[in-house]
Amino acid sequence: MKILLSGGAGYIGSQVSNLLIDAGHKVTIIDSLVTGNKKLVPKKAKFFRCDISNIKKIKKIIKNDNFDAVMHFAGLIKVEESFQKPKRYNLFNFKKSKIFIENCVNNNLKTIIFSSTASVYKETSKKSYNENSIKKPSNPYAKSKLKFEKFLNKFIKKKKIKCIILRYFNVAGADLKMRTGLVDKKSSHLIKVACEVATGKRKKLIINGSNYKTKDGTAIRDFIHIMDLAKIHILSLKYLIKTQKSETFNCGYGKGYSVNDVVKALNKILKRKIPVVYGPRRKGDVASLIAKVSKIKKKINWKPKYNDLDLILKSSLNWENKIYKNSK
């Protein structure tokens, strides 16, 4: 198949691009490099440095190729930054995304996979969420993603087309072939930051919040290995093309680890303790975010392969070491 992919110079888009290419598909990437890195773009992918709201250029790209589907990853992703710049998050994650998808559909590219987030759910005492759980974003980032989800659902009904919305939980780890991983030096992803501390790039890990109502007071998250997440995109695409049914799927493992669990597991791998300090809670964070994943497992027959915290941590550490050596 021929896939048009926005945000392919980013963490997740580049991994999915690699997997698609590994499986024999053709990938064309659109990315403005606003936060992405050209080095992550697979050599076998076609690459256009372009903003997703550039209607003219993207129309030309679509017209020149006969794409089977579009996967839309491009967006801004930092929760803390979204409090400082809510308008920018609305612009990138809603307005520009709307222009992009309308442009695709108007040019006959009508099979859509969209990257959404688990942070659209309303925090409840239940701690784990299925796709129908109540939505109430606790930060402008998640608000902009939910706003786009709502637009997309209305738009596809109107246009009588189908799409799959994937709500990612906490994506972590790196490509096991070390082709791609997180490169953002200002990342707020726990495992990335912990591995930066482990490799000496940061002095200490600040644990944001130790008074949550969880087993050890630190926040609990459902970490999904990026390679399992990437596979979900391929299975979702096959499902969508075969069934012509629109779906929303949670993407996680259905198991939560606390921040302290992650630190302990990392210390065990390293056989030493990384320096840690406890700081205040981060605005917009919730106590616990765990996926209910029976729907995705049943519908697309997804079988997680890398459901192992140690494996996630080791791949992140290897990646961190690799980019550290390359930067020297």
The catalytic site residues sit at 141
In angstroms, the CA 223 to CA 168 distance is 9
Name residues contacting ligand NAD, limited to 34-63 (CB under 6 A). Answer: 34-36, 51-52
Q: Where are the alpha helices (DSSP H) in the chain?
A: 11-22, 55-64, 79-84, 86-90, 97-106, 140-159, 190-198, 226-243, 259-270, 294-300, 309-327
Q: Does residue 28 belong to the site contacting ligand NAD (CB under 6 A)?
A: no
Measured from the CB atom, is 120 or 317 closer to ligand NAD?
Answer: 120
Q: Does residue 232 belong to the site contacting ligand NAD (CB under 6 A)?
A: no
Binding mask 114-153 for ligand NAD (x = CB under 6 A): -x-x---------------------------x--------
Q: Does residue 111 belong to the site contacting ligand NAD (CB under 6 A)?
A: no
Name residues contacting ligand NAD, limited to 163-192 (CB under 6 A). Answer: 168, 170-171
Structure tokens at 78: 């930092």
Q: Does residue 11 belong to the site contacting ligand NAD (CB under 6 A)?
A: yes
Q: Does residue 92 belong to the site contacting ligand NAD (CB under 6 A)?
A: yes
Q: Which part of the chain contacts ligand NAD (CB under 6 A), choosing from 17-25, 70-78, 130-138, 259-267?
A: 70-78
- Counting residues that bind ligand NAD (by CB under 6 A) gives 28
Q: Which part of the chain contacts ligand NAD (CB under 6 A), choosing from 33-41, 125-133, 153-161, 258-266?
A: 33-41
Q: Are 224 and 171 in contact (CB under 8 A)?
A: yes
Least Å distance between CB 11 and ligand NAD? 4
Residues 6+ apart with CB under 8 A from 156: 112, 162, 163, 246
CA atoms within 13 A on the CB side of 53: 10
Backbone phi, psi, residue 93, to 5°: -85, -20
Sheet holding 257-258, edge to edge: 128-129, 288-291, 220-221, 257-258
In angstroms, the Cα distances linking 28 to 72, 163, 224 are 12, 19, 25
Least Å distance between CB 100 and ligand NAD? 8
In angstroms, the CA 141 to CA 82 distance is 5
Least Å distance between CB 84 and ligand NAD? 17
Name the site residues for ligand NAD (rule: CB under 6 A). Answer: 6-7, 9-13, 30-36, 51-52, 73-75, 77, 92, 96, 115, 117, 145, 168, 170-171
